[in-house]
Amino acid sequence: MSVVARTLVVGLLGLGAGLGGGYWASSGDAPSPALGAAGMDAMGAASPASRLAAEISAREDAERRATAAQEQAAAVAARLRDVSDQLASARAGSELEEQAAALEVTRSDLSAARATLAATRSEAEASSLRLEEAISALESANAELVLSAERRAELERERDAALAENERLADLAAARQLEVEAARAKVEAALARRQALEDEQAVVQERLAEARTERDDLLRLASAARLDELVAELDELWPATPEKVPAMEAWIRAAQAELAGLDHDRSALARLEQRIAAGEASADELWWAQRLGRLVDQLEALLDPEHGALGGLSPSFGWGVARRIAFAETVVDRSLEDRDAREAWAESIRFARTSDDYRGLELEPQLGLLPLGPDPDSGLLEFAWLASGRATPRGPDGRLELGGDSAAVLVLVPGGRCWIGAQSRDRGGPNFDPLATDAEGPPRQVELSPHFIGKHELTQGQWLRLVGENPSRYGPGTWGGREVDLAHPVTNVSWDEATTALARHGLRLPTEAEWECDARAGASTAWSTGGDPRSLSGSVNLADRYAGANGGANWAGRLEWLDDGHTVMARVDDFRANAFGLHHVHGNVWEWCADGYQDRLPASTALVEDPLVDPQSSTRRTYRGGAYNSSALDARLVQRSSATPDAEGAALGLRIARDLQQVVD
C-alpha cells in the first residue's frame, strides 16, 4: 500500500471515530425501551399538568438531538465527499483497493447515522401525539370538576324532595289503611249477599233443569209424532220418478233431523230402565219409559239398513227413500234417453204403427219400460219393467233367457173387442163350454183399451226386490223332487199386499175382463189350447200323475193322463205360452184380479168398455186360472174363485198389468 493511500485510510478511520463519539456525547446513551416505558407509566400516574410539562421537556430534548444529528450527518457527508475525491485521485496509484475499503467503512457509518436520525424523528412525533392527548385529558378533567359540583347540589335538592315525598306518602298510607278497612267490611257484606244469591241460583238451576227435562220429554214426544207423520208421508213419495226427487230429499233431511236425538234417547231410556229394575221409578217415569222405548224402536227401525225407510226394503213401505232417489235419478236414461233405449223405442214405435195386430197404434215411450222387441211367436211387443230387475236379453232363437234376477216382462196387448164368460147351451154361440155353469155366463162382449199385462206370473225374485221379503210357502229349495228358485212364481201374497206394492210403481192387477181376454188370446173354447182338456198337455202344471207320486196323492181331480213333472209350482216360463205369449194362464198358481167378487157376471147385451167391478162393492176379491193342485175343470178360462182381500195361500200368486200412457190430442 502506498504512503498516500495509508494516510487516507487513517484519516477516514479517525473521522469515523470522531463522528461516533460526537453523536453519543451530544445525545447521551440511547434510551432503553424498558426505561422509556417506565417513564411513560410515571407520566401516566402524574396529574395532567405534570404529564404535560414532562411531555414538553421530552419534546424539546428530542428536537435538540435531532438538530445535532442533522449537523453531524452533514459533516459526515462533507468528509465523505472529500474522501471520494481523494479516492478518485488515488485510483491511479497502487493503494486504490485499500482506499476503497476505507470508503465502504465510512459509508456504513453514514447509514447508521441516518438510521439513528430516523429513530429520533419517530420518537419526536410520538412525543408530540402524547402531548396532544395530555392536553385533551387535562381539559376533560377540568370539565368534570365543574360538573361534579353542580351534580352534588342537584343530588342534595333531590334528597330533600324525596324526604318530603316520603312524609306525604306515609300520611297517604295511613288514610288508605282506613279506606281498606272500610272496603273490607263492605266486601264481607257483599260476600254474604253473594252466598245468599248462589243458594237461590242453585234452587233456580234445579228447577230449570227439571223444566228442561220436561221440555226435552215434550220435544221427544213431538218427535215421535213427527216420525208417525214421516211414515205416513212415505206413500206420497211414489212413484219413484224424477219429479218426486226434491220431495224425497226433503223427507230424508227431516228424518235425519229426528235421528240426531237417537243416542240421547237411548241413554235416557237406559237410565230409566235401571231405575225401573231397582224399583225406584215413579209412575211418571214408567209412563215415559214406555213412550221413549217406542220412540227408540221407531228411530232404529227407520235407520235399519236392510228394512229401514231411509234406504232399506219393507213390505210396509216398499223401497226406502234413498233407494227411490237412486232409481229416479237413472230411470230416464235407462228407459228413454241412452242410445240403446232410444233406438229400441224408435223401432217399437215404428212396429206398432205398421203392424196389423196394433192397427196403426201411435205408441209413446213409457217411463220405466225398456223395449225388448216383438215375441217371435206371438208377434206382440214386449217390455222389461226396470224397477223389478235386470232387463232380460233374448237368446239366438229370439226367446227370453229368464233368470232369478230378471225383470218382469210386460206384453203390449192391442185391446179391442172380446167375448168373456161362457155358456153350455149353444155350440154355435160365443164361448161354448159344455162344463159352464149359469154363474159363469151369459157371455158378454167387452171392448178393451190397449194395455200391458205380465208375460209371466210375478216371480219370487221380483217380489223380493219390490218389498224386501219372499213370503212364498215353497221358496228356494227342493220340493216334490224338483228345485225351486227365484224364477218360480211368488205366492202367499194377499190382494191388499199386491195392489199396494204395485200401485207404488204405477202398476196394478189386471181386471177380470183383461185377464180372461188376454188368457183366451182369441180362443172361444174352455181352455186357450182348445175344447179338449188333453190339449193342455205341454202348456200347464196341474194336479197330475207326477204329483200323485211325489206328495200330492190326496189332491182331488188329479189327471192320470197328464205328467207335467211338478208337484208344486214350476218356473214361470217352463211351459208353452198362449197365442199372446202369456205363460201359465192355466194352472201353476192362481192369479189375483182387480175386481170385487160377484156371484154372477153382470148380464148385458150392450158393449161394455173396460169393465171393472168396484172392489169396494164387495167383501171378497176374484182370482182366476187354477194352480198346480187344481183339476182341469178348475183351470178353465171362465172358472172364478174368490177370497177376502187379506187372504193368502201357497197356491195363490199374481200377474201384473199397466195402463198404456198415450198423448191426448
Each residue's pLDDT tens digit, 296-314: 998 999 999 999 999 999 9
**Matching residue, cell 218382469:** 408
**Matching residue, cell 315525598:** 165
Q: Are 106 and 12 in contact (CB under 8 A)?
A: yes
**3-class SS of residue 448:** strand
Short-list 608, 341, 638, 566, CA closest to 449: 608
pLDDT of residue 35: 34
Short-list 593, 638, 610, CA closest to 441: 638
Q: Are 382 and 374 in contact (CB under 8 A)?
A: yes
**Matching residue, cell 207335467:** 564
Q: Are 628 and 651 in contact (CB under 8 A)?
A: yes
3-state SS, one letter per residue, for 578-640: CCCCCCCCCECCEEEEEEECCCCCCCCCCCEECCCCCHHHCCCEEEECCCCCCCCHHHCCCCE
Of the pLDDT bands very low, low, confident and very high (cuts 50, 70, 90), residue 6 is very low
Distances (CA, A) of 633 to 129, 532, 534: 149, 11, 12
C-alpha cell at 129: 401525539
Q: Quote the CA–CA distance of 438 and 421 in Å, as a whole number.
A: 10
pLDDT of residue 34: 37
Please confirm whether the linkage preceding 239 is cis (ω < 30° from 0).
Answer: yes
Predicted confidence (pLDDT) at residue 566 exceeds the cutoff of 80: yes
What secondary structure letter does DSSP report for 492? Answer: S
For residue range 418-452, list pLDDT tens digits in order.
Answer: 999 999 999 999 999 999 998 899 999 999 999 99
Q: Which residues touch 144 (CB under 8 Å, ≥6 apart)? A: none
How many angstroms separate the first and last alpha carbons of the chain?
A: 161
How many CA atoms are closer than 13 Å to the CA of 291, on its beta-carbon side?
14
For residue range 156-200, list pLDDT tens digits in order.
Answer: 888 888 888 878 888 888 888 888 888 888 888 888 888 988 888
Q: Are 317 and 310 in contact (CB under 8 A)?
A: no
Domains for the chain: give ranges and CATH numbers: 3-171 (no CATH), 242-326 (no CATH), 410-659 (3.90.1580.10)
Q: Quote the CA–CA distance of 423 and 603 in Å, as a whole number.
A: 12
pLDDT of residue 89: 62
**Cβ atoms within 10 Å of 365's Cβ, excluding its own:** 18
Q: What's the whole-number mean pLDDT along residues 376-393?
A: 96
541 forms beta bridges with: 587
